[in-house]
Amino acid sequence: MGLEELENREYFSIGDVKRLTGVPEYSIRYWEAEFNLIRPIRLESGHRRYTKQDVYTILKIKDLIYKHKLTLEGAKKQLHNYRLPSQENATPSRIDIKLLTEIKETLEDLLKQ
């Protein structure tokens, strides 16, 4: 699973998110509870379905915690105003392009592993 699948699919299971991001499932669930930015859709069966934006948010949290060595509180402060532009009504700013470039590089690094 790589960038192509991330772009071509709308929803991802927690296992898919684990493979795309390299983040363990228990961390994904914990971050979901800690950062109110990850909001998967719950199926009747109780299974989670994550959106592309959820995956991008998880990658940003991972970057802040592992690469920039922030604590959870520090990452929360950084993410306070974090939002990806919606595809319908926004033009990406330089900050958004930089963020998306960082996410792309992270995904490419994961694919090399």
For residue range 15-62, what is the model confidence (pLDDT) as tens digits? 999 999 999 999 999 999 998 889 999 888 989 999 998 999 999 999
Rounded Cα distance, 82 and 61, in Å? 10
Q: What angle do CA 22, 1, 64 make, to 5 degrees?
A: 30
DSSP 72-106: HHHHHHHHTT--PPPTTT----HHHHHHHHHHHHH
- Output the pLDDT for position 85: 46
- Output the pLDDT for position 36: 85
Task: Tell me which of 86 and 67 has the higher pLDDT.
Answer: 67
Expressed as residue numbers, the domain containing 8 is 3-112
For residue 56, what is the domain's CATH number?
1.10.1660.10
Sheet holding 41-42, edge to edge: 11-12, 48-51, 41-42
Provide the whole-model pTM.
Answer: 0.69
CB burial string 60-89: b at 16+ within 10 A, e below: bbbbbbeeeebeeeebbeebeebebeeeee
Task: Tell me which of 90 and 103 has the higher pLDDT.
Answer: 103
Q: How many CB atoms lie within 10 A of CB 54?
A: 21
Q: How many domains does the chain divide into?
A: 1
